[in-house]
Amino acid sequence: MTVAALTQLLAGATRIVAFTGAGISTESGIPDFRSPGGIWTRYDPREFTFDRYVVSAEVRRRSWAMRRELLAGAHEPNAAHRALAELEDAGRLVAVVTQNTDGLHQAAGSREVVEIHGTSRAVTCIGEPTSGVPAGCGFRAPASWAFERIDGGDDDPRCPDCDGLVKSATVSFGQAMFPDALEAAAEHATSADVLLTIGSSLQVYPAAGLPQAARSAGASLAIVNDEPTPFDALADVVVRGRAGEVLPGAVADALGR
Ligand SMILES: [Zn+2]
């Protein structure tokens, strides 16, 4: 299908909810787990399971090194992030629900952002958990807090309030999702008139359940992705392409700009 069909769908919508995945940020230089080369040749993300993080100081040290490298890129939002912020400014988009942890939607000006996998811009106390559920005291700080301590010689920084473990405020492999974020995501998806998914392969549950939930609640479904997804047959509009090339034009036309 064509971008024109997407434009038409967006032009008639007043409660758009965007659901974004790694594909919207690759054009900002954020490496996708699946992309060959780069950072993932040096770090295996499967090594950093929640349970291993809890029991191993060495895994925590390697995890901080990986985080530092990921954050060092000074990544900027791209035209697709900005197009979604414009839709929100125009009163047509209610929320962005994202699988990304990079903070680029907020950097582009989006205000209502639900980060279902947390954020890599912050760290949080996880206490001394005995299962996949964080048991922290509530301490939270910018990611720089951890790096300042590591640079000061403490390579396994602990919570200043309760001496518990501190971890990136992301959802690690094997870690329970944040229930508040999941609930907010489901509420947005089921009250949207259009669910616009961008750059997500829609293969990881529970996030991949959102298109189905939105469709069942009566929303139209639009999918922008550079590869097929399992939900293409269910969608009203499918545009095969990169977010930064498809969205800005479609949004500008839908807003009559
Ligand atoms: Zn604590």
For residue 158, the CA-to-ligand 1 centroid distance in Å is 8
Global pTM exceeds 0.95: no
Q: Which of 81, 105, 117, 188 is catalytic?
A: 117
Q: Find all residues with CB under 8 Å of 32, minimum gap 6, and list them.
A: 22, 23, 26
**Domain 1-30+77-117+177-257 belongs in CATH node 3.40.50.300:** no
Q: Are 119 and 141 in contact (CB under 8 A)?
A: no
* Structure tokens belonging to residue 216: 């069942």
| The pLDDT of residue 142 is above 80 | yes
For residue 163, the CA-to-ligand 1 centroid distance in Å is 6
Which range in 23-32, 45-54, 190-199 is most confidently predicted, on average pLDDT? Answer: 190-199
Q: How confident is the model at residue 150 (pLDDT cuts 50, 70, 90)?
A: very high
Q: How confident is the model at residue 88 (pLDDT cuts 50, 70, 90)?
A: very high
User: Alpha helix locations (H) across the chain?
Assistant: 3-11, 50-55, 57-71, 79-89, 104-108, 143-151, 179-191, 209-216, 243-254
Q: By percentage, how much of the chain surpasses pLDDT 90?
A: 81
pLDDT tens for 65-75 read: 989 888 887 78
188 is catalytic: no
| Per-residue model confidence (pLDDT) at position 207 | 73
The CATH number of 33-74+121-170 is 3.30.1600.10
Q: Where are the domains of the chain?
A: 1-30+77-117+177-257, 33-74+121-170
For residue 84, the CA-to-ligand 1 centroid distance in Å is 36
CA-CA distances (angstroms) from residue 10 to 180, 222, 237? 28, 9, 11
For residue 160, the CA-to-ligand 1 centroid distance in Å is 7
| Per-residue model confidence (pLDDT) at position 37 | 60
